[in-house]
Amino acid sequence: MGFCRTNLFKRLESNGFSFLQSIDGHILRTPIYLYAIDNGLDLPVGVLTRRLARSGKGGRRR
């Protein structure tokens, strides 16, 4: 959690728009990570676009 908090603080210091983009990314990723953990799936790693997040195909199984 400290890593996320530090990065978000740096983004906030940079500018408000960057901070909001980071928060938006966290909001998109959190349900996907929780779903993977609850179902014993690999955690998705990499860039997650809105299109992939909405389609449910954001993560690949390895």
Condensed to tens digits (0 to 9), the pLDDT of residues 29-42 reads 888 889 989 999 88
Sign of the Cα torsion 48, 53, 51, 56 reads positive
Q: Is the pLDDT of residue 20 over 60?
A: yes
Q: Is the pLDDT of residue 21 over 60?
A: yes
CA distance 57 to 51: 9
Q: What is the pTM of this model?
A: 0.53
CA distance 11 to 22: 7
Higher pLDDT, residue 1 or 46: 46
